Amino acid sequence: MDQEFNALLHNNTWTLVPATPGMNVVGCKWVFRTKRKADGTVERYKARLVAKGYNQEAGEDFFETFSPVVKPTTVRLLLALAISQGWTLRQLDVHNAFLNGHLAETVYMRQPPGYEDPDHPDHVCHLQRSLYGLKQAPRAWFKRLHDFLILTGFVASKTDVSLFHYSAAGAQVFLLVYVDDIIMLGSDTTLVDSVLGQLATAFKIRDLGQPTFFLGIETIPISGGMMLSQRRYMRDILQRAGMTDCKALATPASVTQPVCQATDSFDNLTHYRGALQYLTITRLDLSYSVNRLCQFMHSPIDEHWGLLKRVLRYIKGTLEYGLRIAASANSDIHAYSDSDWAGCLVDRKSTSGYAVFFGKNLVS
């Protein structure tokens, strides 16, 4: 807690001002988290001061809140390119990333619990920097990083604004940004080190070396490439569903059984609306089954819950499955598509699917 509080003071996150009537003051609290490695062992313990953003008022202390994150397809494509070309891969972590964002709005917050100023206990914090929990915090951080990268010479991709690329003397460097997790890859190690040095002048960067665990995805070295795995995430899903000891199945869905919309809803909607969509980053074999389940997200019935449990039983038997990315001698793009024409018995809509390969790597 002392380390986090000192970082807040060092970044000039706020200035203390007297409270006035009519001032909208948001609260704050300390959040404690155990950061773990890919194998589940404890890496470090972390304390973070989080603003109670739900106390903010739209149009008064926040306006725009959307902040882009890199697309999974972009991650898979760039990793396939780096493995095939033998490029340098680095994983970066920005310490207290949101504290780097500048607030354009006027936001007041109560003093952190346990760290009130003894001389001014009734004063409030006039925030100068974005803080975790604020609705506009991710947007403010991304804008700060975006502006710095553009000023440095990077160019933002037109198809994915969280992808930045830099070219110099025939060499290239790419940055994949997902909030405070950054993957850097480049064709020249010297240029990568140079870019990293420029980033370190503006932000407190930790160079984690070769990517091992990012975005909840473990990278496992294999012969001629790597495998992207979400084993830990799959185990967490099974544990949350109470199905860690369930009987495994060989297929995630029955293609002969029609799924119909009914009027009687499943009782526990929160339990149905799980986290399978995020699992499809590395388990593209689940895309069709998860898509079917998502079609009934707002009004699932007991039949849909049964289909969901079947997917979980399939996951139970395929915990070692992942997405293999291997070196490819060519960069040809092949795409395959199919559709079950008018397959839905309720509204006669079709479900289409596709698979796109970059070389011999499945990327979308």
User: What digits encode the pLDDT tens for the residues 284-330?
Assistant: 999 988 888 888 877 777 788 888 899 999 999 999 999 999 999 89
- Other CB atoms closer than 10 Å to residue 228's CB: what's the count? 21
Burial of 143 (0-12, 13-18, 19+ CB in 10 A): middle
User: How many domains does the chain contain in total?
Assistant: 2
Tokens of 85: 């070309």
Confidence bin at 256 (pLDDT 50/70/90)? low
How far CA 245 is from CA of 89, 102, 234, 253, 279, in Å, comes to 38, 48, 13, 20, 20
* 273 or 319: which leads in pLDDT: 319
178, 234: one domain: no
129, 246: one domain: no
**Cα–Cα distance, 140 to 99 (Å, whole number):** 9
- Identify whether 51 is part of a domain: yes
Position 28 scores a pLDDT of 95
Domain final residue, candidates 158, 185, 214: 214
- Identify whether 219 is part of a domain: no
59, 143: one domain: yes
Answer left, alpha or beta for residue 127, where phi above 0 means left and psi between -120 and 50 means alpha.
beta
Rg of the chain over all Cα atoms, to the nearest angstrom:
24
**Cα–Cα distance, 247 to 324 (Å, whole number):** 26
Pick from 48-52, 240-244, 299-303, 317-321: least confident: 299-303
Position 89 scores a pLDDT of 94
**Cα–Cα distance, 221 to 211 (Å, whole number):** 10
252, 176: one domain: no
Confidence bin at 218 (pLDDT 50/70/90)? very high
User: For residue 260, is pLDDT > 80?
Assistant: no
- Identify whether 222 is part of a domain: no
- Identify whether 224 is part of a domain: no
146, 243: one domain: no
99, 199: one domain: yes
- Identify whether 279 is part of a domain: yes
Contacts of 257 (CB under 8 A, 6+ apart): none
Position 310 scores a pLDDT of 92
35, 63: one domain: yes
251, 203: one domain: no
Q: What is the pLDDT of residues 98-135, one digit of tens each?
A: 888 999 899 999 999 999 999 999 999 999 999 999 99
275, 202: one domain: no
Domain final residue, candidates 185, 214, 243: 214
Q: For all residues of the chain together, what is the average pLDDT? A: 89
Mean pLDDT within 12-37:
91
333: β partners: 358
190, 261: one domain: no
Position 180 scores a pLDDT of 83
276, 155: one domain: no
Confidence bin at 44 (pLDDT 50/70/90)? confident
User: For residue 332, is pLDDT > 80?
Assistant: yes
Domain final residue, candidates 182, 214, 246: 214
**Cα–Cα distance, 85 to 83 (Å, whole number):** 6
Range of the domain at 127: 2-214
Position 39 scores a pLDDT of 74
- Identify whether 220 is part of a domain: no
Q: Model-level pTM? A: 0.85
- Identify whether 221 is part of a domain: no
Position 253 scores a pLDDT of 84
Compute φ and ψ for 191, nearest 5 degrees: -65, -40
84, 206: one domain: yes
- Identify whether 32 is part of a domain: yes
